[in-house]
Amino acid sequence: MKQENWIGISRRRLFEVASLATGAALLTRLPLLADQTPSNKVKPVDLPAIEPGTNASFSPLKQINAGMLNVGYAEASPSNGRPVILLHGWPYDIHSYVDVAPLLASAGYRVIVPYLRGYGTTRFLSSEAFRNGQPGVLALDVIALMDELKIQQAILGGFDWGARTANIIAALWPERCKAMVSVSGYLIGSQEAGKMPLPPKVELQWWYQYYLVTERGRAGYEKYRHDFARLIWQLASPKWSFDDATFDRSAASFNNPDHVAIAIHNYRWRLVLAEGEAKYADLDKRLAEGPVITAPTITLEGDANGAPHPDASSYAKKFSDKYAHRIIAGGVGHNLPQEAPQAFAKAIVDVDGY
């Protein structure tokens, strides 16, 4: 077995060629947007070598009104490249992709890296809006961003909250997802699943979730969010020797005025200790069914991921198209795109060719 273990799981597509009628039906479901998705023909690409931590910043960020938010995002282009949207997790930010984005841009991709709600320069358009952290709502934010950027379909990549968000889009809006790279696999869950007790050793890994659902935890995260996030980074990536400057660049995004409210609501909602919004009840119901993902997918796992994560064998059948699972060796932890940017970028290029 090579150092980077690849476990390929491929399936023949149900239909190689769809009828014209089926194609027309699919087009009627797509938004009436200018088509900025180039040809699906993918040429082999050799990515330049890069060491983690090579880059410290993006080009000047952009802002755009999308749905309920004014979204801050980084973009690495060409603008006519195949779109790739990269989604960060908690407690991380867009700098998880600071080395991945230029790699993909050099290969001709248009790379969009948005701050999720509650992070960085992303802001709610209304001061009256409920600060909702439901997983399905974060997916709707990305759909709204795609609409405003006139992107019909994109390759999606993510880890942690970002992987879950990508999973949800791929499952519920398959026409918007050309392919996907998902760290830690299939992460769609439900409130019902959140009610189920886990073995004690597994419960221990979720200590921060149980802390955050208490009022003491909320106050503690508000007061010590910088130290709290650093501890999570250390526990989730025990072999990653990040420096102060690397952490501080991301930690600045946690000063967003909505950051604590979004994080707290997300974890409380998962454990059925906070209500969601009624208008999203149907969305939650669909997600609770554990929908299968039909987009070509590569899932990744670091060999030193210290955060709670499912075993790959538990979710392989959730992907019905061409699929592969890769273990990234070398002491790689939870923040895989930042710790192993070469491997993550290669997965994006490879899944684009599936």
In a domain, 1, yes or no: no
The number of distinct structural domains making up the chain is 1
pLDDT along the chain (354 residues), means of 10: 42 37 38 42 77 97 98 93 98 98 97 98 98 98 98 98 98 98 97 93 96 98 98 98 98 98 98 96 97 98 97 97 98 98 98 97
Is 185 within 8 Å of 164 (Cβ atoms)?
Answer: no
What is the pLDDT at residue 151? 98
In a domain, 46, yes or no: no
In a domain, 330, yes or no: yes
From the list 311, 322, 266, 332, the residue with the least C-alpha distance to 91 is 266
Find the domain containing 90 and state its range.
57-352
Residue entry with tokens 């501080």: 248
Distance CA 338, CA 93 (A): 10
* CATH code assigned at 102: 3.40.50.1820
In a domain, 9, yes or no: no
SS3 for 110-132 is: EEEEECCCCCCCCEECCCCCCCC
Helices (H) and strands (E) in the chain, counts: 13, 10
In a domain, 29, yes or no: no
Is 315 within 8 Å of 292 (Cβ atoms)?
Answer: no
What is the pLDDT at residue 45? 77
Distance CA 131, CA 265 (A): 8
User: Parallel, antiparallel, or unpaired: how do β-strands 109-114 and 69-76 relate?
Assistant: antiparallel
Model pTM score: 0.88
Q: Which helix (H) or strand (E) holds 326?
A: strand 323-328
In a domain, 285, yes or no: yes
Distance CA 269, CA 267 (A): 5
What is the pLDDT at residue 36? 45
Distance CA 348, CA 352 (A): 6
Phi/psi region, residue 338 (left: phi>0; alpha: psi -120 to 50; beta: rest), is alpha
In a domain, 300, yes or no: yes
In a domain, 27, yes or no: no
What is the pLDDT at residue 77? 84
